[in-house]
Amino acid sequence: MQLELRATPEEVMRAVEALQEFARERQVPEKTIFGLALALEECGSNVVNHALKRDARLAFQVAFEHTCGDFIIELRDGGPAFDPTAVADRRLQAEENGPHGGWGVQLARHYTDEIRYRREAGQNILRLAKRLGPATGGTCFPQPDTSQSKLKQEN
């Protein structure tokens, strides 16, 4: 499933609702749907607020895929290059004098098994993957080689 969205918070929530419906139709467990929806909301909000500066004239794309027991979310935007996988992990305790922000990336890392970023043809491409296991089915297709991407940093 692919969506073309405007750079507004409402469109991020439209993507979250579409993800929830798509995942439920594929019998993804509710706990997993919650985590994926939160990761999408955080990453989508970053695209809208930071990459596209809430300019509703600008668009970004979100795609969902469920194959071989994996659930994939891919976000594409034409904003300035930014690799969220390079953001350092935050400690779970609040830091009084520390930098604000960065918690969205931390949440996405927590609720997914892999985060990959690449810059291609002037677009940021962020791929979030959650391994669901064989019980949730899906059709198996070979995955493209994205060896240039950075893998999620583990806590």
146, part of any domain? no
Identify whether 153 is part of a domain: no
CATH of the domain at 42: 3.30.565.10
**85 located within any domain:** yes
Give the C-alpha separation, 95 to 100, whole Å. 9
**Residue 152 belongs to some domain of the structure:** no
State mean pLDDT over 104-116. 92
Q: Tell me if 51 is assigned to some domain.
A: yes
Question: Rounded distance, CA 55 to CA 67, Å?
Answer: 34
Q: Which residue has the tokens 């520390």?
A: 98
Tell me if 39 is assigned to some domain.
yes
127 pLDDT band, cuts 50/70/90, is very high
pLDDT, tens digit (0-9, with 9 covering 90-100), for 142-152: 444 433 433 33
How many other CB atoms are there within 10 angstroms of residue 12's CB atom? Answer: 24
| pTM greater than the 0.75 cutoff | yes
Q: Is residue 94 part of a domain?
A: yes
Q: Is residue 103 part of a domain?
A: yes
Q: Which domain holds residue 62?
A: 2-136
What local confidence, expressed as pLDDT, does residue 103 receive?
73
Overall domain count for the chain: 1
